[in-house]
Structure 1
């Protein structure tokens, strides 16, 4: 029965009916339950632990158990007919019955047993966890391999459809060309062989690396270079120190990053202002060049003005000298000369008119002479007696001259 059963029994009997026998029964039930738990724990421990390791412990515990049994027997003879025993003690029968003795484990042994059981359970949990992690890694590897194979299969399917089903079809007959199919399969086989060679070489390299590492580990174990617990503690301390240094460096790096960001902002502002100043400088350079051109033009104009001024001064001096050296004519002489010039111009106009008239008369006479010559030629061809051409022409010319003389006289009279 459990402790709950003893409590129910006590409630059934009632508080007024409780006597030392009921209390003794409840104590026995509690002790039995505790012993059952200890037995289950010990059985589990014995089922897991190696029995060969317990051989040395059995001899050491034999003497302790005998001493404990003797002490328990002596204590049982001194106790009354009804006695409450503690855990791991000795229980005596009521009314002077035969004493049932048993040797219990000590507290230290129980503590060691429980500690070993806890360590075993933790080791089992760790082993199960490692096995689970390994299984997860294996499954993940298999999934990656399956994904790679699926991708390769899709690629091969696409290439087969592109190169064989569509590309190798004869447009005239509509059938697949066998040569292209064979060539495609041979190319795929060569690719597979190349991949297999690469994997074989990689596998060989990995095996050689594993063998080398195993030899190095064995050599370290032989030379006593294997790390112990103290070394691990020292490494933990050094690791903690390095972590603190890394934290300090990270803080310094963060500060430097902040200062760098501020510096970059200032640099960007300075760059923008510098670009503005450079643009302003280009504008000023252009203005300076324009001013220089204007200045050069002004200098050239100033030089020209100075040259003109020099020439004007020289001309002025020359004119002054001429005015001083030559006598200036009087006003009456100037008027007379002006009148003579006007008279000469009038005569020039008259003579030009006369020349025009004579030219026109000459042209008219030549025309008349040509007409007379043509008339004489016509008369001679008709068989008439020709007259003296010289007299007729002379008369015509005389008449023309008379008319011309009259006209010229008329013109002169006018």
Structure 2
């Protein structure tokens, strides 16, 4: 028996696991929806809109189930859905019949869900109240979920928001839409399912079977499987009830479509009769003789003319219908945008008024420390309302005065066009001369532009020349410094050469005296020293010659740079 019950207990166990993973907000949404299901429906919605802000959100005519932690944060944006209810006192007001995230023909945008319309928008369709019946939407709610499988129930249709929007807000979001009568039907179905006995597998009462089983000695696992089976049977009964409700809804819609089709067919028959009657009248008119001449047209020619005239009329009507459709679409879009702007403006004005009232309530006297009384705050608000009314009147008056001023200016311009006795020919001559002068002015402007460009080019060339001259001057200063350093080094080398010459002369004289006193042909040390001195003298002379050549090259560079500097100085 335990093995047979395991497959039946798998689905309830998964459902129980998903329910266990629901957040507090999801549980609260289901509880509130179930509690309000049997209550009378509120008035239908006229529009829905998206609200995004940081911190806690307060919306009108819609429920929001958002974690408290998100409302306390000031770094991440939050999403909510606001709604406005229809004025039932108006004549056949437009009400919302569908809310979703896909754009359809005739649907109105309620705003971007994530600031960027490309990531997703809220769309809703409207219909006159007389045509909406029970399809009108009466309540919407937005629930921040945990990610587990979730349905609001209580008459609400649950739709999950696009993944791109959820990624932006870093949360799982569900939109609940409740239509008129859905909550009552759900409550009635729930009551019916709760009162009806559940049949067992053998056709008997499942409750009696369960009681009999419970009277036996069962293990806790068997009791748990038995409860899971009962829960599965309850859910199956609910699904069956939902299927029956869907079938009744499909039948009702099919009946409405059939009635509409019959009405259209009757209208088509009436139009066909009217067309036949008008065709007969046109044929009679075309066959009648002309009042001026009694000649009658050829029937084929008359039929051709009639066909051409009819096609032209049909084309004109089609174009007029297309133009009317475009105009209606544009007017509808403009009206929708105007309504959206007015709604947002009213919402901003209300929030600003509430913000000012909060400031009034929190204000304290600088000396006494007492807060403002409610009477004083009401007086301030009344004075501000009067000032706003006066401002509105002044604005309207200003608009009227500006329109009157434009009309007066237009009249004056019309009077001044041919004033001072000018004839039309003189006026045309003045126009030609004015055109010629305008062409000359354009030519002068072109010349001025060319001169301006030429001047700019000359300025750029002169600037480049100045920069080049400055660079060359810096380079000459650097070369002068190098030349001075070389002169100093050359002077040192010259002193050294003079000293070496003196030492050489002294050594020569010393060697001459020694040679006179004693020859060194037989002295090896003297010969080696002599050869060594000779080699040193040769190297010193080569070094002196190299320094002379370098000095000559430096003097040539200095002379060349001096010539360049003198030439540029003369050029400036």
Relative to the length of structure 2, the TM-score reads 0.22
Q: Which has the higher contact order (CA 8 A, sep 6+)?
A: 2
Q: Higher helix share goes to which structure?
A: 1
